[in-house]
Amino acid sequence: MSEPLKKVVIVPCSGIGKSYGTVSRVAAYKVTEEDSPDKTQLLPLALLVMGDEDSQKILATNQAITIDGCKLACATKMVQENGGDVARSFAVLDVFRRYRDFKPQGIGELNEGGEKLAEALAKEINAVVEELSAPKEGATHA
């Protein structure tokens, strides 16, 4: 009997009112809704802050990728505090340093630079999703 399909949990920043927080959420939506919906699951940070038991169960059985919008690293901290395994954490500011031409502006709606930064971030996240979703060496296919 095979194990149930596990998904990589994506937990973005909820920094409302901040461009970097918006970039984190746009990238998370792109990964979970467009690029890898069969391999990923979005988990809102607010549910972890509230101590939601269903969210804690999801974290207990799946690896997580966190996307932090600022140095406070709330997404990463909350996943860890809720018993989750952070397989990889991304900081929007670190990604911005690699793509300085993509200066994000806007909150409700990102400018072109913000959209491009979110796209670049989503691409990096997708590469990690592929790594985490790949069959483990020595595993047999049924």
- The whole-chain average pLDDT of the chain stands at 92
- Whether 34 maps to a domain, the answer reads yes
* pTM of the complete model beyond 0.85: yes
State the residue range of the domain holding 103. Answer: 8-129
Residue 35, token pair as written in the block: 């690029």
- Whether 1 maps to a domain, the answer reads no
- Whether 3 maps to a domain, the answer reads no
Residue 131, amino acid: E
| CATH number of the structural domain spanning residue 124 | 3.40.50
pLDDT in tens, 68-94: 999 999 999 999 999 999 999 999 999
What's the mean pLDDT in 98-117? 94
Looking at the structure of the chain, the number of domains it has is: 1
- Whether 141 maps to a domain, the answer reads no
**Phi then psi dihedrals of residue 14, to 5 deg:** -115, 25
- Whether 43 maps to a domain, the answer reads yes
- Whether 139 maps to a domain, the answer reads no
pLDDT bin (cut points 50, 70, 90) of residue 138 is: low
Residue pair 119/30 in contact by the 8 Å Cβ criterion: yes
